Amino acid sequence: MIKDLTAIVGDAYVLTGSDTEKWSHDWIRKYHYSPLAVVRPATTQEVSDIVKWANRTGTPLVPISGNTGLAGGGRADGAVMLSLDRMNTIREVRDASRIAIVEAGVVLADVHAAAEQQDMIFPLTFGAKGSAMIGGVLSTNAGGSNVLRYGNTRDLVLGIEAVLPNGEIMNIMSELHKDNSGYNLKHLLIGAEGTLGIITAAVLKLHPKPKAYATAMVAAPSLPAALDLLNRLQEATGGAVEAFEYMPRHHIEAYMQIKPGAREPFDAPYDVNIMVEVGVTAPRDATPGPDGQIPVTGYLEDVLAQMFEEGTVLDAVVAQSQAQRQDMWERREAAAEIAMSRLPIVSNDIALPLDKVATFLEIMETRLPQVDPAAQPVIVAHLGDGNIHYTVWPGSQDEDVHDAIMEATEEEVLKLGGSFSAEHGIGTSKLPSMRRRKNPVALQTMKAIKAALDPNNILNPGKLLP
Ligand SMILES: Cc1cc2nc3c(=O)[nH]c(=O)nc-3n(C[C@H](O)[C@H](O)[C@H](O)COP(=O)(O)OP(=O)(O)OC[C@H]3O[C@@H](n4cnc5c(N)ncnc54)[C@H](O)[C@@H]3O)c2cc1C
């Protein structure tokens, strides 16, 4: 096996034994595995040759990019891991058509930097941006904090290049915004978690860079009041709210514990803390007036003042500098670190209609203790798009109890018209939910697609499909 792989990529790029340590566990160290080897191709042709070899030898292949996925999709016992990390070239950034053409191993933060150099942004962002790579981001259809305004990964990709499970290279690197020529295979591979092909490159959509941001921490009396704030801000700014993130009191307290020296957002403690950010591109909204105030900050403050008068906002702090804005983001982006500060965790990544979020959390206040009386929820939410990270620190070590927590959560979510998987994907951790909850006809159709494209079950077997 080593000889064959070495012949394709060269002996420096086939790793075994202790050299594979970096790839032997997931980011949250929930799963530990021993890949047979890690192979690091440099070109799409090499990826194709490896996939053809895997079919000839019946060797399972697990594609891996930044290894920050939170659903156990990179588990690789008895498989060869195919790392895209050497395919890290940004081929082109074109400002006239607002696109970036990048290879799958480019780190998300590097796409951000390349876009910003030309006064544009790639708006997809989340805590793992310094490690997650485009191949993994596309394969998990990642979301993050700006979905509210720009959509998730699916909305930000025009074309892809991928190696299919039989080793053929499918080049659909379209730069088009409209293309109705048959089935949309790009969207079939985005979010497929490496089960239907290995993404090797992508054409990404860029957006104009906001010329000014208004960022604030806001305390609201309730989640419905917070939703009212979101809707009023959208009206006042023409839909320019980029992030609307909910942190309950326990998040604030946990953050101050893991970050000594971090400060309370307000003088008093509140239960509903929102980090809101509005971004504007038009000079009329971004250029300071004679009093030095940036208009977008004024729009935000006007809405806040009005709601403060009505009692639907309790307190607010508007960032006065980039450093204050950064502090606000760091508090939010520490969510994964906070959740991981105590193990084990039961990780629920759920989506709900926006006006059902409060109902769900109220129901779970009663339901969770019925399943595990000592369980503690550690919640944070991309409230603007209805995505709650309903993580639970279980009181019990018993895996059956953990599964019962997950089952109770998904049951309540589904009753309210939600989904048990919002943005992290299925991997292996959500397989029981997939088995229990996914529409059986949809599941059957997915299995038929997998069987048609990957009859030898070579690509990321045992993931996504129960
Ligand atoms: C601190 C932290 C914060 C996070 N916040 C968010 C968040 O807000 N929103 C969000 O959506 N996610 C979030 N995540 C999850 C994670 O970062 C994303 O899922 C990310 O998109 C994964 O990218 P990756 O390169 O690390 O993929 P990996 O972990 O390497 O892979 C993820 C899956 O994709 C498959 N895969 C990888 N590369 C390819 C490829 N080239 N072709 C085909 N399949 C491939 C893998 O087999 C695996 O199943 C967070 C993670 C961390 C650690």
Residue pLDDT, tens place only, 404-440: 999 999 999 999 999 999 999 999 999 999 999 999 9
Q: Is the CB of 107 under 6 A from ligand 1?
A: no
State which fold the 90-208 domain adopts: 3.30.465
Summarize pLDDT for 65-100 with one digit per residue, the tens.
999 999 999 999 999 999 999 999 999 999 999 999
> For residue 231, is pLDDT > 90?
yes
In words, the CATH class of domain 212-335 is alpha beta
Q: pLDDT at position 29, please?
A: 86
> For residue 24, is pLDDT > 90?
yes
Residues of the chain with CATH 3.30.70.2190: 212-335
Q: Is the CB of 142 under 6 A from ligand 1?
A: yes
Q: Is the CB of 127 under 6 A from ligand 1?
A: yes
Q: What mean pLDDT is predicted for residues 346-357? A: 96
Q: How confident is the model at residue 179 (pLDDT cuts 50, 70, 90)?
A: very high
Q: What mean pLDDT is predicted for residues 246-255? A: 97
* Average pLDDT along the chain: 97
Determine what percent of the chain is predicted with pLDDT higher than 90: 98
Task: Compute the distance from residue 228 Cα to the ligand 1 centre, in Å.
Answer: 32
Nearest 5°: the CA angle 138, 336, 216 is 95
User: For 122, left (φ over 0), alpha (ψ -120 to 50), or beta?
Assistant: beta
Q: Is the CB of 198 under 6 A from ligand 1?
A: yes
Distances (CA, A) of 78 to 9, 61, 460: 20, 9, 11
Q: How confident is the model at residue 28 (pLDDT cuts 50, 70, 90)?
A: confident
Pocket-testing residue among 70, 169, 383, ligand 1, by greatest number of atoms within 8 A of Cβ: 70
> For residue 332, is pLDDT > 90?
yes
Q: pLDDT at position 37, please?
A: 98
Its CATH architecture, for the domain 2-83, is 2-Layer Sandwich (3.30)
Q: Is the CB of 124 under 6 A from ligand 1?
A: no
State which fold the 342-430 domain adopts: Alpha-Beta Plaits (3.30.70)
Task: Compute the distance from residue 193 Cα to the ligand 1 centre, in Å.
Answer: 9
Residues of the chain with CATH 3.30.465.10: 90-208
In the DSSP assignment, the letter for residue 32 is B
Task: Return the closest-CA partner of residue 412 out of 373, 451, 362.
Answer: 362
Summarize pLDDT for 203-219 with one digit per residue, the tens.
999 999 999 999 999 99
Pocket-testing residue among 140, 246, 454, ligand 1, by greatest number of atoms within 8 A of Cβ: 140
**Is the sign of the CA dihedral 44, 45, 50, 56 positive or negative?**
positive
User: For 10, left (φ over 0), alpha (ψ -120 to 50), or beta?
Assistant: left
Q: How far apart are the C-alpha atoms of 16 and 38, rounded to whole Å?
A: 7
Q: pLDDT at position 215, please?
A: 98
Pocket-testing residue among 47, 62, 64, ligand 1, by greatest number of atoms within 8 A of Cβ: 64
Q: Is the CB of 191 under 6 A from ligand 1?
A: no
Q: Is the CB of 199 under 6 A from ligand 1?
A: yes
Q: Is the CB of 105 under 6 A from ligand 1?
A: no
Nearest 5°: the CA angle 296, 301, 306 is 135
Q: pLDDT at position 189, please?
A: 98
Q: pLDDT at position 115, please?
A: 98
Q: Is the CB of 27 under 6 A from ligand 1?
A: yes
* Residue type present at position 179: D
Q: What mean pLDDT is predicted for residues 383-400? A: 96
Summarize pLDDT for 107-150 with one digit per residue, the tens.
999 999 999 999 999 999 999 999 999 999 999 999 998 999 99
Q: pLDDT at position 119, please?
A: 97
Q: Is the CB of 72 under 6 A from ligand 1?
A: no
Residues of the chain with CATH 3.30.43.10: 2-83
Residues of the chain with CATH 3.30.70.2740: 342-430
Residues in the chain: 466
> For residue 30, is pLDDT > 90?
no
Q: Is the CB of 140 under 6 A from ligand 1?
A: yes
